[in-house]
Structure formats: C-alpha cells, structure tokens
C-alpha cells in the first residue's frame, strides 16, 4: 500500500510518502535553530512552527514522491507520546487530508514508529526481536515476541532518558543544543577513560535505567575542577551511557533468549554506541539492526512504516482520535 504519514510530536515537522517498503519522500523540517536559542524545545513555539511549516512540508513531500493523491491508500499520523499542542497540529491536518481524500486514518504510537525505522532499513526483519529504544524522552527495552505492533515492556528509565542526559550534560558543558551530536563531536578529542562516571543499577535482573546520577556526577566533577578538559568529560560521560545501554541490553538478551537486537531512537545515531553495540553483538552471535542515522531521529517515514503493519491488523483510527501526550506501551 501507499501511505502518507505526518509526524509533529516534538520539534521536527515531517511528511513522508511510503510505497510498501520504499520511501518515495521523507521531508523533515527541523526547528533546532529556533529552539537552540532557548537551550531546549519551547512547546508553544514548536506548535506554532508546525502550523506554519506543515502545509509546506506536505506539498514538498507530494512533489518529491511524484505521486497523485488519489494513489494514497491511507493517512498515518503520530498521536503520542509528545507535546500536546504539536501533536494536535499534525492530527488536525491528517484528519483534514483523510476527509478530503476519503481515505482511512491510522493513529501511530511515536515509540512504535521509532522501532519501525529498523524495518525500513532491514525489510527482512521479523519478530522475535528485542528493541533498545533510546531517544530524547524515552529509554526502553521492548520485546517483540510474535507481533511487530504489540511489544512487552521489559524495562525503562526511572528518571532521565538517555538523550535527555546528553542534552543536559551538553548544557552543563555549554556546548549547545541538541546535546547528543555536540557531545559526540567533542568526545572525538577526549579520553573516554579519564573519568569513571557511575553506571547505575547494573545488578542482574533489573532492566530499568537511571541516568540522573551520571548527570549529577558530571556536575560535581565540573564544580570541583577549575581547569577541566571538556572533551575528556564528554567522552567519559558518553562512555558511561553507552556502557550501561549495552550492559542492560545484554541482560535482556540473557533473560529472554532473543537472537535479534534492534537499536533505535535519536541516541542510536551515536557513533560510539553503534560501534560498541555492533562489536558486542558480533561477539555474542546476535543479529544487530541499527537504522541509518537519518532514520534514527524523528521522521515521518518510520510512522508510515508502522502504519503498514497496523493496517494489516485493521487498526484504524476514528475521526475523533485525539492527542495522547503520555501514550505508552
Ligand atoms: P521521543 O522519541 O522520546 O519522544 P524525541 O522524539 O525528541 O523524543 P528523538 O528525535 O528520537 O527524540 O531523538 C532526539 C534525541 O537524540 C536528543 O536527546 C538528542 O540529543 C539525541 N541524539 C541525537 N543525535 C545523537 C548522537 N549522535 N549521540 C547521542 N545522542 C543523540
Ligand atoms: Mg527532535
Ligand atoms: Fe522521537
């Protein structure tokens, strides 16, 4: 089927047209520059920019896909989790398109969409698989045993998300927003073994995460040292987060016996994580699936791909569907 998908859950306005597993277009308009001034996403500002940008992004996506609207089989839209105002802009627009084209509407969980980025990159991927979802607002281990749309939540962060920790530490280091890419860049010239930041909750059997301790530890290290080498702090922090993510994933593999591991979400764009987790998977005879970096961060193609499997399950949304900012598994 051909799907037109809309993603506006946070600060990326994106529209994609997907035909089966083929991305015809995936236009992403990021508001990073706008929010960087504030050091983080300002919800009202984000919603206003979605409202302004969405019609333009929509036009561009259709043009690039070179498809007529009558060939679209369904409209997909992210319904949550995310910022209420931002989600509503996308949902209202999607309803309008669905009504105008007389096509069904599909509501998509943004976190499920992140996992489907792996399916876009690796069309052969089928359950059972384990997914490590590491994004700006979430850090979760999900088991997809026999369904690609109904995972079992094995563990999640009890405080900060991994991406949030990157963003907060970048703010402490005053190296800009978003923090992930800035820390990755700075780490290139730093020593990852200079500081031993805490690796929280590594006791066997515990699949939850905590990243607020490592952030606090960075704060104290900065306060205690007058002249500090920022690249060493960045590299050592990144190493601590990456180590925990891999250790917890290893634990989940031991507990579930899964042989395939999917790594998705914005933090999956991190080169150190990609390298180390790929190495770990090889050593342990596991198949690893990490989408290309541009499909790890927010985009509508992953929403469209999730919608294809939801459609197979006849999981359609009514025109009364609304935003669910705290949607979870
Ligand atoms: P969620 O998906 O939980 O609702 P979100 O949509 O805002 O949150 P994503 O777009 O998936 O999150 O990812 C953004 C996050 O990924 C930010 O926290 C950002 O710092 C982080 N990130 C992006 N690139 C990298 C990188 N190279 N290394 C580490 N973190 C990164
Ligand atoms: Mg974003
Ligand atoms: Fe996201």
Q: Is the ipTM of this complex over 0.90?
A: yes
Residue 253 counted as an annotated binding residue: no
Residue 180 counted as an annotated binding residue: yes
Q: What φ, ψ does residue 178 adopt, rounded to 5°?
A: -75, 150
pLDDT the model gives residue 201: 94
Tell me whether the omega of the peptide bond preceding residue 178 falls within 30 degrees of 0, making it cis.
yes
Distance 272 CA to ligand 2 centre (A): 20
**Ligand 1: does its nearest atom lie under 6 Å from the Cβ of 163?**
yes
Q: How far apart are CA 172 and CA 169, in angstroms?
A: 5
Bin 175: left if φ > 0, else alpha if -120 < ψ < 50, else beta: alpha
Distance 9 CA to ligand 2 centre (A): 9
**8-state DSSP, 219:** H
DSSP string covering 282-320, please? HHTT-EEE---HHHHSS-SHHHHHHHHHHHHTT-PBPTT
Mutate to test the pocket of ligand 1, among 108, 297, 323 (most ligand atoms within 8 A of CB): 297
Tens-of-pLDDT digits for all 329 residues of the chain? 999 999 999 999 999 999 999 999 999 999 988 998 888 899 999 999 999 999 999 999 999 999 999 999 999 999 999 999 999 999 999 999 999 999 999 999 999 999 999 999 999 999 999 999 999 999 999 999 999 999 999 999 999 999 999 999 999 999 988 999 999 999 999 999 999 999 999 999 999 999 999 999 999 999 998 889 999 999 999 999 999 999 999 999 999 999 999 999 999 999 999 999 999 999 999 999 999 999 999 999 999 999 999 999 999 999 999 999 999 99
**Ligand 1: does its nearest atom lie under 6 Å from the Cβ of 179?**
yes
**Ligand 1: does its nearest atom lie under 6 Å from the Cβ of 135?**
yes
Determine how β-strand 139-144 pairs with β-strand 152-156. Answer: antiparallel
| Spatial contact of 57 and 15, defined as CB atoms under 8 Å apart | yes
Positive or negative CA dihedral for 311, 315, 318, 321?
A: negative
Closest CA to 132 of 306, 219, 230, 261: 261
Closest CA to 119 of 266, 280, 244, 303: 303
Q: Would you state the torsion angle of the CA atoms of residues 206, 207, 209, 213, taken in this order, to the nearest 10 degrees?
A: 20
**Ligand 1: does its nearest atom lie under 6 Å from the Cβ of 239?**
no
Burial (CB count within 10 angstroms: exposed 0-12, middle 13-18, buried 19+), residue 156: middle
Rounded to a whole number, what is the largest CA-CA distance in the chain?
64
Q: What φ, ψ does residue 140 adopt, rounded to 5°?
A: -140, 150
Q: How far apart are CA 75 and CA 99, in angstroms?
A: 10
**Ligand 1: does its nearest atom lie under 6 Å from the Cβ of 297?**
yes
Residue nearest to atom 9 of ligand 1 (CA): 266
Determine how β-strand 129-134 pairs with β-strand 139-144. Answer: antiparallel
**Ligand 1: does its nearest atom lie under 6 Å from the Cβ of 190?**
no
Residue 7 counted as an annotated binding residue: no
How is residue 179 written in tokens?
A: 């923090």
DSSP string covering 131-172, please? EEEE-SS-EEEEEESS-SS--EEEEEBSS--HHHHHHHHHHH
């Amino acid at each position: 089927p051909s799907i037109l998908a809309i993603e506006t859950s946070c600060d990326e306005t994106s529209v994609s047209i997907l035909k089966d597993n083929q991305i015809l277009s995936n236009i992403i308009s990021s508001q990073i520059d706008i929010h960087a001034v504030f050091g983080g996403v300002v919800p009202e500002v984000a919603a206003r920019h979605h409202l302004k940008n969405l019609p333009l992004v929509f036009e561009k996506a259709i043009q690039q896909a070179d498809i007529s609207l009558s060939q679209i089989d369904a409209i997909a839209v992210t319904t949550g989790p995310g910022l209420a105002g931002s989600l509503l802009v996308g949902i209202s627009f999607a309803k309008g398109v669905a009504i105008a084209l007389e096509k069904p509407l599909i509501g998509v969980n943004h976190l499920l969409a992140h996992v489907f980025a792996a399916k876009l990159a690796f069309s052969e991927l089928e359950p059972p698989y384990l997914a490590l979802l590491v994004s700006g607002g979430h850090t979760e281990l999900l088991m997809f045993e026999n369904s690609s749309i109904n995972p079992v939540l094995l563990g999640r962060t009890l405080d900060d998300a991994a991406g949030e920790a990157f963003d907060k530490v970048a703010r402490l280091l005053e190296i800009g927003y978003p923090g992930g890419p800035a820390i990755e860049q700075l780490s290139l010239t730093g020593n990852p073994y200079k500081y031993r930041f805490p690796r929280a909750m590594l006791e066997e059997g515990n699949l939850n995460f905590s990243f607020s301790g490592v952030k606090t530890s960075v704060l104290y290290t900065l306060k205690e040292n007058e002249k500090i080498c920022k690249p060493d702090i960045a590299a050592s922090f990144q190493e601590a987060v990456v180590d925990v993510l891999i250790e917890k994933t290893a634990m989940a593999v031991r507990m579930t016996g899964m042989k395939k591991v999917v790594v998705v979400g914005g933090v999956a764009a991190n080169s150190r994580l990609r390298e180390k987790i790929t190495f770990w998977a090889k050593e342990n005879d596991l198949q690893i699936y990490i989408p290309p970096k541009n499909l790890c961060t927010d985009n509508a193609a992953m929403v469209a791909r999730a919608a294809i499997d939801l459609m197979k399950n006849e999981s359609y949304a009514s025109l009364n569907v609304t935003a669910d900012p705290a949607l979870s598994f």
